[in-house]
Structure 1
């Protein structure tokens, strides 16, 4: 039985006039998403992560511990009522630093994807739309950049520049746009075979009109899914750079550097690695579940 039939049956059972109007595409799309438990859980995780980052000063019980505070009398304390996730080697509250660590991870996501998504999407649409030498130039350059291992590029940039959040964004962004360019190029090439694009061209529409009004709206769903899934990879990649010492500079709390600092005290002080490690897992899980839910909702491949 279809959802329209279900609504009809429900209306008749409750004595309401039957609404036989077809359900909108937007309603059906949201219905598919809301009926996916994993997607809803992912959305809640992502929302909670964002709220933690925004309201970190209000959530963290020791907001001053994100700086140069040192309390050696409280160093390496296990989790208790005062310090929910224990303290680190400098006596700083790990829970407070983990909450603020979400800020660094999400700022990295916004900085990297805020640049790479528009750049990659524009290049991909341009290559797929114009074809010819433009297509060969863009796809050729994209293939060259894809041949460079991202971690090697990031480490090279980190060796040249000092470890800051901005430089970490630069290191990741230099190669991240390539995947978006390849994906949108493939989607645009498929859209170019549609009749409405040819009709717009015959009607005298400009290149910009076709790109922005005909092609881009049909790429939004793919871009949304790809961006959400990429957010998880950016968080992991940023944590990897910080773990290797090429992330933000201490004492700024960063989840990857917190794991690196705590690993030297394993297995006795296990909480110093568990808290930031779980935070990385929590954030990446949320974005992955949300991305999978959006992919099912839009019924696209990314």
Structure 2
């Protein structure tokens, strides 16, 4: 008996073909796995961390600067706290930062980009002009300025990053929505009496979702790295809250002897950012878009 015929590619749904492309991309699958492990580590940090109490103001000077061993797989820091436990909880801080920043920047940027691309005229000039002005400000300079004025903590770190991060999404969505607004089906919707809200949310926005998704995933890596940079400079999360950037800053003064105090949090930053970048590239190939 002959094997059943496989369905032809043209007969498969667009969604299935997109998922097929994603699963056949090894880098994308690896990136998804890395992101999932980071998220699970953040969610179940109290259960995974061998010493959950070491995320607070705990000192154990008898074990300070202990090299990696069976008791402390990644060693201990300058006051004897378990580095593995603090790295696991550091993932939680990084993801809080990603959610806080992109949870505000993406909707704001997308809304402004949609309005500028659809309404054109004065609305377009005001939004694009303001966006270009904000884009001219270096994000790190703005973050340093805010960090010096306000008290260093997670909320202020999110504020410093969010104030400029929405601009990239506004510009991207503006470019895409401007092109979609010129399509015939948008004109047909207008002639059929559809409201501006209907056209924006039911016609244009769904066609921007793939681009927004790719951009958001790639931005998650940059937000983690940017947040770690602020903490490294002393403008992020306040101690003793574990943050990957501040852990690198604390450990660098003991290099090269206590190399594990920098290697562990540094690799954690690399792991998280690489995972989101690989996942974002995989989504870009999956949706076949440019972001």
TM over 0.5: yes
Change (3 A) 1:268 1:201: same
1:17-74 CA-to-partner distances (Å, cap 9, x unmatched) read: 7756911111111000000000000000000000000000000000000001100000
1:173-222 CA-to-partner distances (Å, cap 9, x unmatched) read: 00000000000000011101211101001101000000000000000000
Q: 2:17 aligns with which of 25, 28, 32?
A: 28
In structure 1, the partner of 2:187 is 198
In structure 2, the partner of 1:244 is 233
Q: 2:219 aligns with which of 230, 252, 259?
A: 230
1:161 deviates by: 0.8
Determine if the alignment matches structure 1 residue 73 to structure 2 residue 57. Answer: no
In structure 1, the partner of 2:289 is 300
In structure 2, the partner of 1:54 is 43
1:50-104 CA-to-partner distances (Å, cap 9, x unmatched) read: 0000000000000000001100000000000110000000000000000000000
Distance 1:248 1:18 in 2: 55
Q: 2:78 aligns with which of 89, 93, 96?
A: 89
Runs of 5+ unmatched residues, structure 2: none
Secondary structure of 2:22 counterpart = helix
Secondary structure of 2:163 counterpart = helix
What is the aligned-residue RMSD (CA, Å)? 1.1
Matches within 5 A, 1:1-302: 13-14=2-3, 16=4, 22-302=11-291
Q: How many residues align?
A: 290
Secondary structure of 1:246 counterpart = coil
Distance 2:7 2:114 in 1: 42
